[in-house]
Amino acid sequence: MKTQDYISREEQYLAYNYHPLPVVLNKAEGVWLWDVEGNKYLDFLSAYSAVSAGHVNPRLKKALIDQLETLDVPSRAFYTDKLGLFAEKLCKVTGMDKMLPMNTGAEAVETAVKAARRWGYTKKNIPSDQAKILVSSGNFHGRTTTIVGFSSDDEYKENFGPFDGGFDIVPYGDLDAFEKAASNPNVCAYITEPMQGEAGIIIPPKGWLKSIQEICKKHNVLLICDEIQSGIGRTGKDFAFQHEIDRPDGLILGKALGGGVYPVSAFLARADVMDVFNPGSHGSTFGGNPIAAAIGIESLNILEEEKLAERSAELGAYTIDKIREMNSPLVQDLRGAGLWIGIDIDPTRASARAVCEALKLRGLLCKETHETVVRLAPPLTITKDDIDWALSQIQNVFKLMEQKAAA
């Protein structure tokens, strides 16, 4: 079978909820991917930052296989020898007190919503069913109906309503608007990405999160950071909140927590927030199973021992500098934190999709977010040589498209 045959089969039997680049992959190792025709590509998406430790990382592979050969999924009707270890390690690395394990990111966000509301009713004495959660404009927190209900992007929610409410959107980065919203006594929490991923790698002004935390403290509002994409070294710190604050009141992790090989997510919180849960109030059949726990532990070991955050900070700064030096008229704006870089492409010259398709033809796989942003997010294990190779492909594509735009 050829590329087009695989694509046709997917188109026939799959819901059309993704618009993939026309490449059919069948092999991966480290930072490299191969397609069914034997072409080799450098992965500059990392499965939306899930594969931060590289594809088929030998340590994660070993953790997965060793665990599968001893104990797989007994459910949380019983204790296991792994889950406590994972929770202890994750709490120590993040500075949080307690964790609640789930599988996908959206489930961990749902967990945070539940925790925030229960805390609001039982600890802040918000009248029954009146709790409000603040969220940011441009947010992305997943795809469940509750979560898309508070998206500011119509594409995510069109014809999926009715939505239940209970969320207010505040402009991302606007402290005055936030303080006004947070002073409503029915507000229990602010759930936000400390830096926004799907919105196009949006980095708020320096000092923003610190000020947000002060306002939250003043009005007794929980600050809950969604670091599903920004966490585990991506932004040049272990967690993006560490650029500004010691710790939030709640923290949501996913994606790279499972090393890109297994869905592992978690909600973490201060003890007095997590204590709102009691047996029967929440759960997940697969959440915290020994395989997930073993992989989670090893992901955190890799983060520390392979210094992923330091690598990300150093190589990210290098990459941004080099792209800036290209001085391409295609680049309208360039921003990033660590190896998490957004390039705004001037829409009068090219679409971000066209740039990604041209990069694909040169062996570099990345994906646009919205119409105008090219996101660069390679595995954090990447070498400087491989980055240099990617930069030369980017340079070539920019030149090619500048000529096209001029013609």
Ligand X SMILES: *Cc1c(COP(=O)(O)O)cnc(C)c1O
Considering the complex, what minimum distance in angstroms separates the CB of residue 123 from ligand X? 25
**Active-site residue identified among 82, 132, 237, 255:** 255
- Rounded distance between C-alpha atoms, residue 309 and residue 300, angstroms: 11
Nearest Cα residue to 262 out of 53, 77, 122 = 53
Q: Which amino acid is at 179?
A: E
Considering the complex, what minimum distance in angstroms separates the CB of residue 264 from ligand X? 10
Between 240 and 382, CB nearer to ligand X: 240
Considering the complex, what minimum distance in angstroms separates the CB of residue 16 from ligand X? 18
Q: Which two tokens stand for residue 314?
A: 């150093």
- Rounded distance between C-alpha atoms, residue 94 and residue 227, angstroms: 11
Measure CA 160 to chain center. 23
Task: Considering only the stretches 39-47, 67-75, 135-143, 241-249, report the one whose residues sit in contact with ligand X under the rule CB under 6 A.
Answer: 135-143
Residue 77 is classified by DSSP as T
- Rounded distance between C-alpha atoms, residue 314 and residue 319, angstroms: 9
Does residue 344 carry a catalytic annotation?
A: no
**Active-site residue identified among 44, 89, 132, 140:** 140
Between 35 and 110, CB nearer to ligand X: 110
Q: Which amino acid is at 275?
A: D
Per CB under 6 A, 262 contacts ligand X: no
Does residue 226 carry a catalytic annotation?
A: yes
State which of residues 226, 238, 244, 344 lies at the interface with ligand X (CB under 6 A).
226
Cross-sheet strand order for the sheet of 40-43: 25-29, 32-35, 40-43, 364-365
Residue 154, Cβ neighbours under 10 Å: how many? 7
Chain positions 34 to 73 lying near ligand X, rule: CB under 6 A, are: 48
Per CB under 6 A, 194 contacts ligand X: no
Q: How many residues bind ligand X (CB under 6 A)?
A: 16
Between 35 and 194, CB nearer to ligand X: 194
Q: Site mask, ligand X, residues 86-125, x = CB under 6 A? A: ------------------xxx--x----------------
- What are the phi and psi torsion angles at 142 (to 5°)? 125, -170
Name residue 28's beta-bridge partners: 33
Does residue 246 carry a catalytic annotation?
A: no
Per CB under 6 A, 141 contacts ligand X: yes
Chain positions 315 to 334 lying near ligand X, rule: CB under 6 A, are: none
**Active-site residue identified among 43, 226, 238, 249:** 226
Per CB under 6 A, 254 contacts ligand X: yes
Between 229 and 393, CB nearer to ligand X: 229
Q: How many residues does the chain have?
A: 407
Per CB under 6 A, 142 contacts ligand X: yes
Which residue is associated with the tokens 């000020």? Answer: 211
Helices (H), 95-207: 105-122, 145-148, 154-157, 175-182
Tell me which residue has its CB nearest to ligand X.
Answer: 105
Task: Considering only the stretches 137-145, 174-182, 212-220, 353-361, report the one whose residues sit in contact with ligand X under the rule CB under 6 A.
Answer: 137-145
Between 117 and 234, CB nearer to ligand X: 234
Return the exposure string of 207-242: e unless at least 16 CB atoms fall within 10 Å of the residue's CB, then b: ebbeebbebbeebebbbbbbbbbbbbbbbbbbbbbb
Nearest Cα residue to 356 out of 263, 364, 230 = 364
Per CB under 6 A, 303 contacts ligand X: no
Three-state secondary structure call for residue 25: strand
Per CB under 6 A, 234 contacts ligand X: no
State which of residues 136, 229, 299, 319 lies at the interface with ligand X (CB under 6 A).
229
Considering the complex, what minimum distance in angstroms separates the CB of residue 144 from ligand X? 8
State which of residues 140, 172, 190, 398 lies at the interface with ligand X (CB under 6 A).
140
- Rounded distance between C-alpha atoms, residue 227 and residue 213, angstroms: 16
Q: Where does this chain bind ligand X (CB under 6 A)? A: 48, 104-106, 109, 140-142, 193, 197-198, 226, 228-229, 254-255
- List residues with catalytic annotation: 140, 226, 255
